[in-house]
Amino acid sequence: MTVRKVTLKVAALLATALSAGAVVTTITSAPAQAGGTSRTTYGCYARWWDTAFAGYCSPSTRNQSVQLHANCSLEPDYQGPWIGASKGEYLEPFDSDDCTFPVDGASIGYN
């Protein structure tokens, strides 16, 4: 969902509330995260930006399974599928997705 669609939905909800007699004193939203990178473990790490996130192995330093996790604001968190990574394999990215609202952080699960 794009920012424009979210903005239009918020505007429609606000208009409905005001027409029903609601009083709105302040509207705030969580500040967008600038993004970041998780620590690298066994050659793999997660990166996130405003609403997008991805998992990378550059390269994997062992045979393993990796899983991307993201903490999405105001919606369920993301937990991707387990992906096999062979020692020496570059997976750039091995998984990625978007949240509707800002990402608060991302990490990699190892197995």
Confidence of residue 34 (pLDDT cuts 50, 70, 90): confident
On average, the pLDDT of the chain sits at 81
The mean per-residue pLDDT over the stretch 8-26 comes to 45
pTM: 0.69
3-state secondary structure 50-106: CCEEEEEECCCCCCEEEEEEEEECCCCCEECCCEEECCCCCEEEEEEEECCCCEEEE
pLDDT one-digit tens code per residue, 41-86: 999 999 999 999 999 999 999 999 999 999 999 999 999 999 999 9
CB atoms within 10 A of CB 7: 10
The mean per-residue pLDDT over the stretch 13-35 comes to 47
| Upstream peptide bond of 93 is cis (omega within 30 degrees of 0) | yes
Residue 28 has pLDDT above 60, yes or no: no
Which pLDDT value is given to residue 22?
Answer: 41
Q: Where are the domains of the chain?
A: 31-110
